Amino acid sequence: MSQLDLLRSLLQYDDWANDRVLQASATLTDEQLDRAFDMGRGSPRRTLLHIVSAEHVWVCRWQGRAETPWPDEEERATVATMHERLQQVRSARDSFLAQLSDGDLGRQVRYRDSFGSPYIAALGDMIIQLCHHSAHHRAQIVNMIRRVGGSPPELDYMYWKRKPAE
């Protein structure tokens, strides 16, 4: 398996896991989605919005595009709206990745963070960052879902990969 194929596989897992978190979150009431927590971005809704926003921002950074202002995480977007936005980001992400080869992963990309500070990083490292970033915040959301009385999803990588033995 090539490095790029491995990264694509990890992003597919992230898609699956993000979808499961969104599905579990869709069963919550507005009060549960907006309950304050001292973790994540302060509530399940804001943490979900942060995942969606970060996916968009990192794809822009991979392409060296100028970053737009960070999306509003105070917005009261519905879970369905967030899922729709995530689908659009995935489409752009997958179109970008389809044009890459393993040799592109070491390419240095210049970008600015949300504060306007300039940085440079290898494209492959930036792709890995997206995978880790989402995993971190999904763990927070699962904890929040459990604490508001919802049914948290199983997100273990092997749960996604395993197949019944014959």
Which residue do the tokens 């994540």 mark? 40
Which residue do the tokens 């992003």 mark? 11
Residue 1 pLDDT: 84
Reply yes or no on whether the pLDDT at 19 is more than 90.
Answer: yes
Residue 145 and residue 152 in contact, taking contact as beta carbons nearer than 8 Å = yes
What gap in Å lies between CA 103 and CA 87, rounded to an integer?
27
Residue 91 tokens, joined:
């489409």
Residue 100 and residue 4 in contact, taking contact as beta carbons nearer than 8 Å = yes
Mean pLDDT of the chain: 92
User: Could you read off the pLDDT of 84-133 as tens digits, one per residue?
Assistant: 999 999 999 999 999 999 999 999 999 988 888 899 999 999 999 998 99
Read off the pTM: 0.91
Residue 130 and residue 55 in contact, taking contact as beta carbons nearer than 8 Å = yes
Residue 67 pLDDT: 67
How many Å is the Cα radius of gyration of the chain? 17
Residue 164 pLDDT: 77
Give the CATH fold of the 3-161 domain: Four Helix Bundle (Hemerythrin (Met), subunit A) (1.20.120)
pLDDT-based confidence at 162, cuts 50/70/90?
confident
pLDDT-based confidence at 66, cuts 50/70/90?
low
Residue 11: C-alpha distances to residues 51, 62, 70, 114, 135 (Å): 13, 14, 22, 23, 11
Neighbours of 4 (CB within 10 A): 17
What gap in Å lies between CA 134 and CA 123, rounded to an integer?
17
Domain boundaries along the sequence of the chain: 3-161
Residue 147 and residue 141 in contact, taking contact as beta carbons nearer than 8 Å = no
Length of the chain: 166
Residue burial 125-134, b: 16+ Cβ < 10 Å; e: rest: ebbeebbebb
